Structure 1
């Protein structure tokens, strides 16, 4: 590629980012520090290098910039380039977009379940269903977090991105149905995690516009932070620290959209660090690509071993999701998760409505499965589209879904490299329902959903000549995953849970605290490297993790910058 052409493309990319923000001045913050990686110098030096501008990375970087220079390297684009794409009405379409520039990077776990990794500034908060709910007090204590600082950190996040949802007819009927079937007490609108039924927060405002973790960069000091988009980190660099007698991180290599390599180094002043915040898939993957992981596995891929750490990639888990699609005889609002039933037996009941679930959806889903199967080299096992699926084109079947996910989960799996390309997905196994306790909770959750559908409060939104058994049969004919379907699934809720399991995108693990990182999120066995994100979790917090992941970024940013300030004054 000629130098002139490279400069033209660079200017075009930078211009697109700038113009996209100007074209939506009422919806997008005017970040002077947001740039395309193609415009970056060949060599950069900062106090902190944050790998991943996601749900945790954005609040972390914003906080660190209050007392140090911070570089954020984000492999995806900006959610501000097309606000309509992340509007609530485009939730399904955004997830289903498989173009190279999309915010969603689909992958199929070895369990045969379609999942998605975020590829955007703001991370998973750009793609998710928007529910905002804190972790329980017990979770915070068990995690070793300071309760006061955790509460302050949640509130810091909530000032920018959390709202009270409108609670229209469908969501209200689900709420009343939960109360009718005994998911008590009613706790009203609250961010807190409490047994019973409640209305939680949402990151969608009253116009349906999504507010993501990228909005938390409004807190950043613009003179001390640089955020580069389409900056894919290839590996972390290490050198031997003779004083500590161990390897020490000192920089990273990243590639821009033109394929040009850049290097970023830590400054030599103060307690400078590299902080990996690439998510539950990206963080263990990048540790392995940088030489930290199971030695035999790394050597098999030709990777030089920096630290033999067999626990990297272990403890991978995803909260299993099971649903019933409920066609409605009356119009329903467009809504994502707003109300939740937090049961004492370990299942959470939620709902969504008004989303496009017609024939085009089923064909698009089939297309995604085929696309990802071909990319990963997995054999295509996609079942043929049945007549019952094609009947979903009937507009009278517009309705919603009732869903349940289990607490935890107890079942875990692992992550392995397929190749050494950081742009490609690794191999991930979640082992859904391997632990029988997880299956028991799913069955109880499905029974609760069935009771809500049959409740008086919900009667307006279901066809009375369509029993729940028909809804179960319908789900068993939908191409929801690549798992085999068994004849007894129509009559066994245990088999139904196993056969129709989906993801709710709450995957975690791979760099767990106490195993890969210590209680301060420092990678055990090396210097100047931390992992701060959901990959450190042993179980998913609360009903939905995004609030806690954002909180963790603020929480650890505060702890790190205060210690840096104290160290500098000694």
Structure 2
């Protein structure tokens, strides 16, 4: 066996032996890494082998892997997740998403479609904010991406040793699971991380104590002598030589002071953008890579005329039905999924008081406090309408909040949109359009998904959690027309499923695209037309992997880190 391959195996064994799963499941919630510091303490000028822009879901495992052999700088615009119970505890889900302050770990944005959304602003990225579902991509997805199946599997396992757990299955989730099987979403695949047709119980990043484990925890694998993480470090621009070679970045600290980081001299050193589906195309544009006419409108010097940057933006539409329950319901996020053969995924969440309110009156991951607002069609979801809904929600009786939601998410999706700069401030959101249901096939999948939810609600397995005098048509009308996604306004008004899909569409926070493989980057995630620059994150996806992308994003960070190490080791051996 080649020497370089033996070295990689040894590195992997070191990670297993010295960072087993138990060593991170008992960590002090207030601890921080010794290599993590605020950007205010950074040198004015510094040099590294790799500069990673964004310490998110893909960026953290990528940095940990590359640091085994090379010096790595991670520039994260947000703060630390450690010591923040609103990130750590399942019971506090929604608190960060409802926080719209400039220091929030979730930065709210509203797409041009009118759907309210959030982007991560914290070390660990979206894994610090999401509902925790953990599931791998399908073999078909892996094959289409051209990934090495063996390395993919090894990379998933590397991630799972730290962050993945089996969820507790209680009454509500069990009823949804049994209802899916009763109506024919088969076979039943039990508990598995794999993406397979039928009904399954997936993984979760919440442990048995309800504590969240995130991509930031994968930094336990890092070589502490070769990695530096700077928090509250906002990158304004990537720097290029006259030969279109990326060689440095300009970033600002929390005090607004400018710093520069450069690549050390070395033919294989690189800058890697991992700033997310909004941040990565935005930063490429701010750095002069984008459609020339658009860049010149903002007085940006053009490095490369690349009109495909920001194109192919997609967000998987989510539609949900609220089901009031006559029986007590546990607090649960996503645990069960029905993977249908018509392109829709059926999932559920339940319980009250996990949406971030100061009182128990809340709807969790479907609360208007976090922007999930199905009462009005997207374009009518104004700040005033949201405030009115929240006020009304606070006045409802506690009994009104007993129940849960069954949702469907569209596979893909097929519909796409675009992203463009609003201004040249990297702290501001770009303008993004997702074009929900523009392709009629997405709308048809939604209709079939809602029809499937209707059957679950009417199933024998789900009957303990449904009032007998509430037909599904009333539940649909309640979801679409109530003041706060709950109480019926027009119980005699029929609502077509097509209109229901359009009027109640929300995000499931799985947006992607903007720097897609084959358009902006090649199969090795190198940016086409320039050198020493890659993009490795969800902006490269042509469609969302499986029912939740976070496992695949963490896998991709590890996968590409190993590939890069292998390439460099092989190059040394051939010299």
Q: Same fold (TM over 0.5)?
A: yes
Q: Does 1:427 align with 2:424?
A: no
Q: Is the partner of 1:334 in helix, strand or coil?
A: coil
Q: Which residue, 316, 335, 339 being the options, matches 2:332?
A: 335
Deviation at 1:96, TM superposition (A): 0.8
Alpha-carbon displacement from aligned partner over 1:459-489 (angstroms, at most 9, x marks no partner) = 11111122222221221125789xxx99999
The residue that corresponds to 2:257 in the other structure is: 260
Moved more, 92-101 or 493-502: 92-101
Deviation at 1:269, TM superposition (A): 2.5
The residue that corresponds to 1:120 in the other structure is: 122
The residue that corresponds to 1:142 in the other structure is: 144
Contact 2:393/2:484 (8 A) holds in 1: no
Mapped to 1, the partners of 2:469 and 2:78 lie a distance apart of 48
Contact 1:28/1:80 (8 A) holds in 2: yes
The residue that corresponds to 2:312 in the other structure is: 315
The residue that corresponds to 2:187 in the other structure is: 185
Deviation at 1:332, TM superposition (A): 1.3
Q: CA 1:474 to 1:390, structure 2 compared with 1: closer, same or farther past 3 Å?
A: farther
Q: CA 1:289 to 1:194, structure 2 compared with 1: closer, same or farther past 3 Å?
A: same
Q: CA 1:489 to 1:279, structure 2 compared with 1: closer, same or farther past 3 Å?
A: farther
Q: Which residue, 165, 174, 178 being the options, matches 1:176?
A: 178
The residue that corresponds to 1:382 in the other structure is: 385
Q: Which residue, 426, 437, 441 being the options, matches 2:441?
A: 437
Q: Does 1:449 align with 2:446?
A: no
Q: Does 1:211 align with 2:210?
A: no
Structure 1 runs not aligned, ≥5 long: 1-23, 242-246, 371-377
Written as runs of structure 1 = structure 2, the 5 A alignment for 1:17-416 is: 26-27=28-29, 30-241=32-243, 247-356=244-353, 365=368, 382=385, 385=389, 392-416=396-420
Structure 2 runs not aligned, ≥5 long: 1-25, 374-380
Q: Is the partner of 1:422 in helix, strand or coil?
A: coil
Mapped to 2, the partners of 1:364 and 1:441 lie a distance apart of 24
Mapped to 2, the partners of 1:65 and 1:386 lie a distance apart of 46
Q: Is the partner of 1:107 in helix, strand or coil?
A: strand
Mapped to 1, the partners of 2:396 and 2:417 lie a distance apart of 35
The residue that corresponds to 2:464 in the other structure is: 460
Q: Does 1:548 align with 2:545?
A: no
Deviation at 1:122, TM superposition (A): 0.3
Contact 1:29/1:218 (8 A) holds in 2: no
Q: Is the partner of 1:351 in helix, strand or coil?
A: strand
Alpha-carbon displacement from aligned partner over 1:267-309 (angstroms, at most 9, x marks no partner) = 0034100000000000000000000001111100111111000
The residue that corresponds to 2:517 in the other structure is: 513
Q: Does 1:562 align with 2:559?
A: no
Q: CA 1:101 to 1:479, structure 2 compared with 1: closer, same or farther past 3 Å?
A: farther
Deviation at 1:32, TM superposition (A): 0.9
The residue that corresponds to 2:23 in the other structure is: none
Deviation at 1:449, TM superposition (A): 0.6
Deviation at 1:257, TM superposition (A): 0.7
Mapped to 2, the partners of 1:397 and 1:379 lie a distance apart of 24
Q: CA 1:267 to 1:146, structure 2 compared with 1: closer, same or farther past 3 Å?
A: same
Alpha-carbon displacement from aligned partner over 1:232-261 (angstroms, at most 9, x marks no partner) = 0011001123xxxxx010000001111111
CA RMSD, Structure 1 to Structure 2 (Å): 2.5
Deviation at 1:553, TM superposition (A): 0.3
The residue that corresponds to 1:15 in the other structure is: none
Q: Is the partner of 2:530 in helix, strand or coil?
A: coil
Q: CA 1:124 to 1:459, structure 2 compared with 1: closer, same or farther past 3 Å?
A: same
Contact 1:366/1:382 (8 A) holds in 2: no
Contact 2:314/2:512 (8 A) holds in 1: yes
Moved more, 75-84 or 198-207: 75-84
Q: CA 1:475 to 1:121, structure 2 compared with 1: closer, same or farther past 3 Å?
A: same
Mapped to 2, the partners of 1:480 and 1:284 lie a distance apart of 35
Mapped to 2, the partners of 1:342 and 1:273 lie a distance apart of 39
Alpha-carbon displacement from aligned partner over 1:409-459 (angstroms, at most 9, x marks no partner) = 000000011010000000010000000000000000001111111111111
Contact 2:352/2:363 (8 A) holds in 1: no
Contact 2:36/2:230 (8 A) holds in 1: yes
Q: How many residues align?
A: 532
Deviation at 1:334, TM superposition (A): 1.1
